[in-house]
Amino acid sequence: MSNSAHIILKNISKYYTEGDQQRLVFKDVDLEIQPGEFVVLLGRSGSGKSTLLNILSGIDEPSSGQVIVNDIDLTNLSEQDRTLFRRQYIGFIFQLFNLIPTLTVLENVLLPLELTGKLKKAHHEHVARLLSAVRLTDRVNSFPDKLSGGEQQRVAILRALIHKPLLLLADEPTGNLDSDTSRQVLNLMTTLVRKEGKTLVLVTHSQEVAQLADRIFVFRKGQLIEQHSKGESV
Protein backbone atom coordinates (compact mmCIF):
# COMPACT_ATOMS: atom_id res chain seq x y z
CA MET A 1 0.00 0.00 0.00
CA SER A 2 1.16 3.54 -0.79
CA ASN A 3 2.23 5.60 2.23
CA SER A 4 -0.26 8.32 1.43
CA ALA A 5 -4.04 8.33 1.06
CA HIS A 6 -5.91 8.36 -2.23
CA ILE A 7 -9.50 9.22 -1.33
CA ILE A 8 -12.60 8.73 -3.44
CA LEU A 9 -15.96 9.91 -2.15
CA LYS A 10 -18.75 8.67 -4.41
CA ASN A 11 -22.09 10.33 -4.14
CA ILE A 12 -22.14 10.55 -0.36
CA SER A 13 -25.06 12.05 1.52
CA LYS A 14 -25.55 12.48 5.23
CA TYR A 15 -28.84 12.83 7.07
CA TYR A 16 -29.49 12.83 10.78
CA THR A 17 -32.77 11.51 12.07
CA GLU A 18 -34.30 13.40 14.97
CA GLY A 19 -37.63 12.01 16.10
CA ASP A 20 -39.53 11.51 12.85
CA GLN A 21 -37.65 14.33 11.11
CA GLN A 22 -34.74 13.77 8.76
CA ARG A 23 -32.24 16.59 8.63
CA LEU A 24 -29.91 16.85 5.66
CA VAL A 25 -26.29 17.81 6.34
CA PHE A 26 -24.97 17.35 2.79
CA LYS A 27 -26.10 15.62 -0.37
CA ASP A 28 -24.42 13.87 -3.32
CA VAL A 29 -20.86 14.85 -2.51
CA ASP A 30 -18.32 13.61 -5.06
CA LEU A 31 -14.67 14.22 -4.35
CA GLU A 32 -11.34 12.68 -5.26
CA ILE A 33 -8.20 13.61 -3.32
CA GLN A 34 -4.81 12.51 -4.65
CA PRO A 35 -2.01 11.08 -2.49
CA GLY A 36 0.01 13.91 -0.94
CA GLU A 37 -2.63 16.55 -1.62
CA PHE A 38 -3.41 19.24 0.96
CA VAL A 39 -7.10 20.09 0.84
CA VAL A 40 -8.91 22.69 2.94
CA LEU A 41 -12.61 22.55 3.85
CA LEU A 42 -14.39 25.83 4.56
CA GLY A 43 -17.99 26.51 5.50
CA ARG A 44 -20.21 28.03 8.13
CA SER A 45 -20.59 26.49 11.55
CA GLY A 46 -22.95 23.52 11.23
CA SER A 47 -22.33 23.06 7.49
CA GLY A 48 -20.94 19.53 7.84
CA LYS A 49 -17.16 19.95 7.96
CA SER A 50 -16.58 17.84 11.08
CA THR A 51 -19.12 15.30 9.86
CA LEU A 52 -17.13 14.83 6.66
CA LEU A 53 -13.84 14.41 8.57
CA ASN A 54 -15.52 11.85 10.81
CA ILE A 55 -16.73 9.96 7.75
CA LEU A 56 -13.22 10.04 6.23
CA SER A 57 -11.77 8.60 9.43
CA GLY A 58 -14.42 5.91 9.82
CA ILE A 59 -15.77 7.36 13.08
CA ASP A 60 -19.07 8.08 11.32
CA GLU A 61 -20.82 6.58 8.28
CA PRO A 62 -22.53 8.32 5.38
CA SER A 63 -26.27 7.71 4.97
CA SER A 64 -25.55 6.67 1.38
CA GLY A 65 -22.64 6.57 -1.03
CA GLN A 66 -19.14 5.13 -0.86
CA VAL A 67 -15.93 6.18 0.86
CA ILE A 68 -12.83 4.57 -0.61
CA VAL A 69 -9.36 5.09 0.81
CA ASN A 70 -6.54 3.32 -1.08
CA ASP A 71 -8.94 0.68 -2.40
CA ILE A 72 -10.46 0.06 1.03
CA ASP A 73 -14.20 0.71 0.88
CA LEU A 74 -14.95 1.99 4.38
CA THR A 75 -18.66 1.57 3.80
CA ASN A 76 -18.12 -2.21 3.60
CA LEU A 77 -16.26 -2.46 6.90
CA SER A 78 -17.75 -3.37 10.26
CA GLU A 79 -17.48 -0.76 13.02
CA GLN A 80 -14.66 -2.77 14.59
CA ASP A 81 -12.74 -2.90 11.31
CA ARG A 82 -13.24 0.82 10.86
CA THR A 83 -11.68 1.34 14.32
CA LEU A 84 -8.67 -0.75 13.26
CA PHE A 85 -8.49 1.19 9.98
CA ARG A 86 -8.53 4.48 11.89
CA ARG A 87 -5.83 3.43 14.37
CA GLN A 88 -3.52 2.26 11.65
CA TYR A 89 -4.03 4.73 8.84
CA ILE A 90 -5.39 8.00 10.24
CA GLY A 91 -3.86 10.83 12.28
CA PHE A 92 -6.34 13.29 13.80
CA ILE A 93 -5.66 16.79 15.15
CA PHE A 94 -8.46 18.57 17.03
CA GLN A 95 -9.23 22.15 17.97
CA LEU A 96 -9.03 21.35 21.69
CA PHE A 97 -5.90 19.19 21.32
CA ASN A 98 -7.58 16.16 22.99
CA LEU A 99 -4.46 14.93 24.73
CA ILE A 100 -5.02 12.29 27.40
CA PRO A 101 -4.73 14.22 30.69
CA THR A 102 -3.45 11.27 32.72
CA LEU A 103 -0.61 10.52 30.31
CA THR A 104 2.66 12.45 30.02
CA VAL A 105 3.78 14.18 26.82
CA LEU A 106 5.91 11.18 25.88
CA GLU A 107 3.10 8.70 26.64
CA ASN A 108 0.63 10.73 24.60
CA VAL A 109 2.96 10.76 21.59
CA LEU A 110 3.61 7.01 21.84
CA LEU A 111 -0.05 6.08 22.27
CA PRO A 112 -0.85 5.37 18.58
CA LEU A 113 2.11 2.96 18.44
CA GLU A 114 0.92 1.25 21.59
CA LEU A 115 -2.64 0.92 20.26
CA THR A 116 -1.40 -0.73 17.06
CA GLY A 117 1.05 -2.99 18.90
CA LYS A 118 4.02 -1.36 17.16
CA LEU A 119 5.79 0.15 20.13
CA LYS A 120 9.43 -0.85 20.22
CA LYS A 121 12.39 0.40 22.21
CA ALA A 122 13.90 1.83 19.02
CA HIS A 123 11.01 4.21 18.73
CA HIS A 124 12.06 6.05 21.85
CA GLU A 125 15.08 7.52 20.08
CA HIS A 126 12.98 8.52 17.08
CA VAL A 127 10.46 10.18 19.39
CA ALA A 128 13.22 11.96 21.29
CA ARG A 129 14.43 13.45 18.00
CA LEU A 130 10.93 14.54 17.05
CA LEU A 131 10.32 16.12 20.45
CA SER A 132 13.60 17.96 20.16
CA ALA A 133 12.64 19.22 16.68
CA VAL A 134 9.48 20.79 18.12
CA ARG A 135 11.31 22.15 21.19
CA LEU A 136 9.57 19.94 23.73
CA THR A 137 12.49 17.91 25.02
CA ASP A 138 12.30 19.39 28.50
CA ARG A 139 8.56 18.66 28.69
CA VAL A 140 8.56 14.90 27.94
CA ASN A 141 7.50 14.00 31.47
CA SER A 142 5.01 16.84 31.90
CA PHE A 143 1.26 16.34 31.89
CA PRO A 144 -0.79 18.19 29.27
CA ASP A 145 -2.40 20.63 31.73
CA LYS A 146 1.05 22.07 32.47
CA LEU A 147 1.58 23.04 28.80
CA SER A 148 0.49 26.09 26.84
CA GLY A 149 -2.02 25.67 24.00
CA GLY A 150 0.71 25.86 21.37
CA GLU A 151 2.80 23.25 23.19
CA GLN A 152 -0.21 20.93 23.53
CA GLN A 153 -0.94 21.24 19.82
CA ARG A 154 2.72 20.44 18.97
CA VAL A 155 2.39 17.27 21.05
CA ALA A 156 -0.89 16.47 19.27
CA ILE A 157 0.79 16.91 15.86
CA LEU A 158 3.54 14.46 16.79
CA ARG A 159 0.94 12.03 18.11
CA ALA A 160 -1.00 12.31 14.85
CA LEU A 161 2.08 11.47 12.76
CA ILE A 162 4.02 9.00 14.93
CA HIS A 163 2.45 5.84 13.46
CA LYS A 164 3.01 7.09 9.88
CA PRO A 165 -0.65 7.34 8.91
CA LEU A 166 -1.79 7.57 5.28
CA LEU A 167 -4.02 10.50 6.00
CA LEU A 168 -3.93 13.42 8.39
CA LEU A 169 -7.24 15.05 9.34
CA ALA A 170 -7.21 18.37 11.19
CA ASP A 171 -10.42 19.94 12.53
CA GLU A 172 -9.85 23.67 13.14
CA PRO A 173 -6.41 22.89 14.61
CA THR A 174 -5.58 26.55 15.24
CA GLY A 175 -9.06 27.63 16.36
CA ASN A 176 -7.95 27.88 19.96
CA LEU A 177 -4.56 29.52 19.50
CA ASP A 178 -3.43 33.14 19.16
CA SER A 179 -2.30 34.22 15.71
CA ASP A 180 1.47 33.88 16.26
CA THR A 181 1.10 30.43 17.78
CA SER A 182 -1.33 29.46 15.01
CA ARG A 183 1.25 30.35 12.41
CA GLN A 184 3.94 28.27 14.15
CA VAL A 185 1.64 25.28 14.56
CA LEU A 186 0.51 25.44 10.93
CA ASN A 187 4.08 25.74 9.72
CA LEU A 188 5.06 22.71 11.72
CA MET A 189 2.08 20.67 10.55
CA THR A 190 2.36 21.53 6.86
CA THR A 191 6.15 21.10 6.84
CA LEU A 192 5.94 17.64 8.40
CA VAL A 193 3.04 16.61 6.18
CA ARG A 194 4.72 17.83 2.98
CA LYS A 195 8.04 16.25 3.96
CA GLU A 196 6.41 12.86 4.45
CA GLY A 197 4.13 13.28 1.42
CA LYS A 198 0.98 12.63 3.47
CA THR A 199 -2.49 13.58 2.37
CA LEU A 200 -3.92 16.35 4.57
CA VAL A 201 -7.55 17.42 4.91
CA LEU A 202 -7.86 20.49 7.10
CA VAL A 203 -10.98 22.32 8.30
CA THR A 204 -10.59 26.00 9.03
CA HIS A 205 -12.48 29.29 9.21
CA SER A 206 -9.45 31.21 8.07
CA GLN A 207 -9.00 32.28 4.44
CA GLU A 208 -5.35 32.92 5.28
CA VAL A 209 -4.87 29.29 6.32
CA ALA A 210 -6.86 28.14 3.30
CA GLN A 211 -4.39 29.86 0.95
CA LEU A 212 -1.73 27.31 1.99
CA ALA A 213 -3.71 24.43 0.47
CA ASP A 214 -3.53 22.84 -2.98
CA ARG A 215 -7.32 23.00 -3.30
CA ILE A 216 -10.10 24.65 -1.32
CA PHE A 217 -13.66 23.31 -0.97
CA VAL A 218 -16.62 25.10 0.58
CA PHE A 219 -19.79 23.59 2.06
CA ARG A 220 -22.70 25.70 0.97
CA LYS A 221 -26.36 24.69 1.32
CA GLY A 222 -25.51 21.01 1.59
CA GLN A 223 -23.26 21.01 -1.48
CA LEU A 224 -19.49 20.80 -1.58
CA ILE A 225 -18.15 23.35 -4.04
CA GLU A 226 -14.58 23.83 -5.18
CA GLN A 227 -13.41 27.40 -4.70
CA HIS A 228 -11.49 28.28 -7.86
CA SER A 229 -10.40 31.85 -7.39
CA LYS A 230 -8.44 32.02 -4.18
CA GLY A 231 -9.80 34.56 -1.73
CA GLU A 232 -13.38 34.36 -3.03
CA SER A 233 -15.67 35.03 -0.07
CA VAL A 234 -17.44 32.12 1.62
Maximum Cα interatomic distance, the chain, rounded to a whole number of Å: 55
Pairing of strands 199-203, 167-171: parallel
Q: Choose the contact partner of 43 out of Mg ion, ligand ADP, none; CB within 5 to 8 A by kind.
A: ligand ADP
Considering the rule CB under 6 A, would residue 49 count as an interface residue with ligand ADP? yes
Which range touches ligand ADP (CB under 6 A), out of 27-35, 48-56, 82-90, 224-232?
A: 48-56
Considering the rule CB under 5 A, would residue 47 count as an interface residue with Mg ion? no
Among 5, 9, 12, 25, binds ligand ADP (CB under 6 A): 25
Q: How far is CA 9 from CA 4, 21, 118, 231, in A?
A: 16, 26, 30, 25
Q: How far is CA 197 from CA 149, 168, 171, in A?
A: 26, 11, 19
Note whether 25 and 51 are within 8 A (CB). yes
Considering the rule CB under 5 A, would residue 199 count as an interface residue with Mg ion? no
CB of 113 to ligand ADP, least distance (A): 29
* Residues contacting Mg ion: total by CB under 5 A: 1
Residues of this chain that interact with ligand ADP (CB under 6 A) are: 16, 25, 43, 45-51
